[in-house]
């Protein structure tokens, strides 16, 4: 199962996230749930880093992606992370045995 932990500031804005695990819904390389989660989370990270040029810490390995902003989230960062979360929640609805979100 893929688990998502969302890190939030006191004001509720998302300051980072941690994804761990594999969905186990199909064979490696054929898993559409894993591919969707990976695409959404990595695109959010790339957008924040490459487009918004926000300073962050991140770790990426097989079955793990963790990102933490090095400062308070601004409105654009929040928009990207909330959009990622919306997409991941839809995947969780379609595959509750493959994805679990703690937010």
Structural domain boundaries in the chain: 2-102
Q: What is the pLDDT of residue 103?
A: 74
Q: What is the pLDDT of residue 7?
A: 98
pLDDT classification of 91: cutoffs 50, 70, 90: very high
Q: What is the pTM of this model?
A: 0.92
Buried/exposed 55-66: b ≥16 CB within 10 Å, e otherwise: ebeeeeeeeebb
Task: Say if residues 61 and 70 touch (Cβ distance below 8 Å).
Answer: no
pLDDT digits (tens, 9 = 90+) for 20-53: 998 877 777 678 999 999 999 999 999 999 999 9
* CATH class (in words) of the domain with range 2-102: alpha beta
Q: What is the pLDDT of residue 65?
A: 97
pLDDT digits (tens, 9 = 90+) for 44-74: 999 999 999 999 999 999 899 999 999 999 9
Q: What is the pLDDT of residue 37?
A: 97
Q: Quote the CA–CA distance of 70 and 37 in Å, as a whole number.
A: 23
């Amino acid at each position: 199962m893929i688990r998502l932990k969302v890190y939030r500031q006191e004001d509720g804005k998302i300051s980072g996230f941690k994804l761990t695990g594999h969905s186990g819904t199909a064979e490696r390389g054929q898993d559409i749930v894993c591919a969707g989660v990976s695409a959404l989370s990595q695109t959010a990270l790339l957008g924040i880093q490459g487009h918004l040029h926000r300073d962050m810490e991140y770790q990426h390995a097989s079955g793990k992606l963790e990102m933490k902003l090095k400062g308070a989230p601004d409105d654009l960062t929040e928009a990207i992370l909330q959009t990622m979360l919306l997409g991941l929640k839809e995947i969780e609805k379609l595959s509750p045995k493959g994805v679990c979100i703690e937010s």
